[in-house]
Amino acid sequence: MTQEKKARTAQERGPKPPRRSPRKRTPADLGSLLYGGFQLDASDRHLANYHRLSPDSLEDDSYFRVTRALVVAARRWRKVANDRIKPLDHSMVQWETLYLVAYSGEDLTQSELARAVGVEGPTMVRILHLLAEDGLLERHQSRDDLRVTINRITDSGRRVISDIMAITNQLRSEMLENIPADDLAVAQRVMTQLVRNLEAAQGKPTRAGSKPKDQRTTRPAKNHEGE
């Protein structure tokens, strides 16, 4: 492009808009940037902004709030639990692998373990290799199928499971001790049903444009705080 053409194009486009300086973060902002998600009040503000910019969005946010809280809680649980057991030089995914090998009552293959723990196959291969190197697992080929590797827990592996369980049980107490037992029972029933619903949903095709039942598709104007 010639200089003359560049100048003409720039003139047609007009002057560039002034560049916005990024908003300076306050200590309160930084405090909301916890691992795994913002604080709940910040999440409410994000949702209000979403509705403001998406006028056709659903009014009923109850389903969204439940799943959002669930995701953030799971991320933060994993983060805090990993921090607590870090002095043992292990991670929660390693603990879960050991736990399944020791107490599932089945000879789980590495592909089955990968699906159960929620990691990719190559990641599970590395996990099993490290656990075997540490003497926590024994690995040998199946007599029935030489392509299959059988994993067995060792006494050292059982001790590590117990050590990590003691640490995470203490964390569970810290998280749940101020919640009434009746509320915990309700939460457990709800979570159990949610897991069943997710199991039923896996593999179902997505219906484009489908709307949840009994939820309106129009939303009256609201004055949300934090907008």
Q: How far apart are CA 136 and CA 94, in angstroms?
A: 10
Per residue in 83-137, pLDDT tens? 999 999 999 999 999 999 999 988 888 889 999 999 999 999 999 999 999 999 9
The structure's pTM equals 0.68
Distance of CA 202 to the CA centre of its chain: 17
Angle at 184 between CA 178 and CA 188, to 5 degrees: 150
Query: How many CB atoms sit inside 10 A of residue 82's CB?
Result: 15
